[in-house]
């Protein structure tokens, strides 16, 4: 019964988000403003959803996101990462066209202001790098998951550096961010319980969400690192440095 209740409230939250986002986008008029209100509303609704789901988020390094107009690169384990990062600061997320084509999730992500890229086409990536640069120049903090996919949290995959050109070509700061899920219902995050939170591989969205609703409390932590100055380093160096910072933080002994 408890999970049925929580699923009912989850559906209600989706309805509120979709209705609110559609109304706000209608009045926003321009594409930039539509994305801006989408990011703002996503941040508001993310905080509400996290409280309901029992996901407690602690964070450090907020000052590194001021002023806005940064490229944030983070490790990636779940769609919950989006709620966690959005709750810290309104942001625009970069995702793949595969997510855009995913029924329902693609629609919701679009309303939230997500920017979709086709990673498999080098020609299209070059065009989209310019568009991401424009978003940053317009004052958006843009989040990129350079692993290219989500994981079960047991490793940090190699980072792809191509989309970081959006920062290096425009000389905007890159802010590494590490997400850690520390506890699930009082037990340390581990291979035994990670699937409650982590969404990866060929997992389907609704069965995963239904399984997650068994949980009562999850602790998450976001660590933001000092911005990397793109005037002083090239794309591959920045990618390697950011991955090292994130990996060291993720696997450090508490």
- Predicted confidence pLDDT, tens digits, the chain (254 residues): 789 999 999 999 999 999 999 999 888 888 889 999 999 999 999 999 999 999 999 999 989 998 889 999 999 999 999 999 999 999 999 888 788 888 888 889 888 889 888 766 666 677 788 888 889 988 999 999 999 899 999 999 999 888 888 888 888 899 999 999 999 999 999 999 999 999 999 999 999 999 999 999 999 999 999 999 888 888 899 999 999 999 999 998 65
pTM for the full predicted model: 0.92
Phi, psi of 252 (to 5 degrees): -70, 150
**d(C-alpha 89, C-alpha 214), whole Å:** 28
Q: How far apart are the first and last CA of the chain?
A: 36
**d(C-alpha 76, C-alpha 114), whole Å:** 16
**d(C-alpha 189, C-alpha 203), whole Å:** 19
CATH T-level assignment (fold) for domain 2-251: Glycerol-3-phosphate (1)-acyltransferase (3.40.1130)
What's the gap between Cα 222 and its chain centre?
11
Radius of gyration in angstroms for the set of CA atoms belonging to the chain, rounded to a whole number: 17
Residue 176: the pLDDT is 97
**d(C-alpha 155, C-alpha 137), whole Å:** 33
Residue 78: the pLDDT is 95
The CA-atom distances, in angstroms, between 165 and each of 99, 102, 130, 134 are 22, 27, 9, 12
**d(C-alpha 210, C-alpha 198), whole Å:** 13
Residue 116: the pLDDT is 87
Contacts of 152 (CB under 8 A, 6+ apart): 77, 191, 194, 195, 198, 200, 201
**Angle of CA points 180, 164, 47, to nearest 5°:** 40
Domain ranges of the chain: 2-251
Residue 122: the pLDDT is 62
What are the tokens at 121?
A: 């086409």
Question: Alpha helix (H) ranges present in 29-74?
Answer: 31-53
């Amino acid at each position: 019964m408890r999970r049925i209740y929580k699923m009912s409230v989850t559906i209600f939250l989706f309805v509120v988000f979709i209705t609110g986002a559609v109304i706000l986008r209608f009045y926003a008029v321009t594409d930039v403003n539509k994305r801006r209100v989408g990011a703002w509303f996503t941040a508001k609704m993310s905080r509400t959803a996290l409280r309901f789901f029992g996901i407690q988020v602690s964070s450090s390094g907020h000052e590194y996101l001021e002023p806005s107009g940064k490229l944030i690169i983070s490790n990636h384990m779940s769609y919950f990462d989006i709620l966690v990062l959005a709750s810290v600061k309104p942001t625009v997320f970069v995702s793949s066209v595969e997510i855009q084509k995913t029924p329902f999730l693609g629609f919701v992500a679009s309303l939230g202001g997500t920017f979709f890229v086709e990673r498999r086409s080098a020609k299209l990536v070059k065009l989209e790098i310019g568009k991401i640069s424009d978003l940053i120049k317009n004052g958006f903090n843009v989040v990129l998951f350079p692993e290219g996919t989500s994981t079960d949290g047991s490793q940090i995959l190699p980072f792809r550096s191509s989309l970081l050109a959006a920062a290096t070509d425009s000389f905007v700061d890159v802010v590494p961010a590490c997400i850690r899920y520390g506890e699930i219902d009082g037990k340390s995050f581990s291979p035994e319980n990670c699937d409650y939170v982590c969404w990866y591989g060929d997992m389907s969205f609704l069965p995963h969400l239904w399984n997650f609703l068994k949980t009562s409390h999850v602790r998450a932590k976001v660590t933001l690192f000092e911005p990397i100055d793109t005037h002083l380093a090239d794309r591959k160096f920045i990618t390697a440095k950011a991955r090292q910072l994130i990996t060291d933080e993720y696997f450090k002994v508490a």
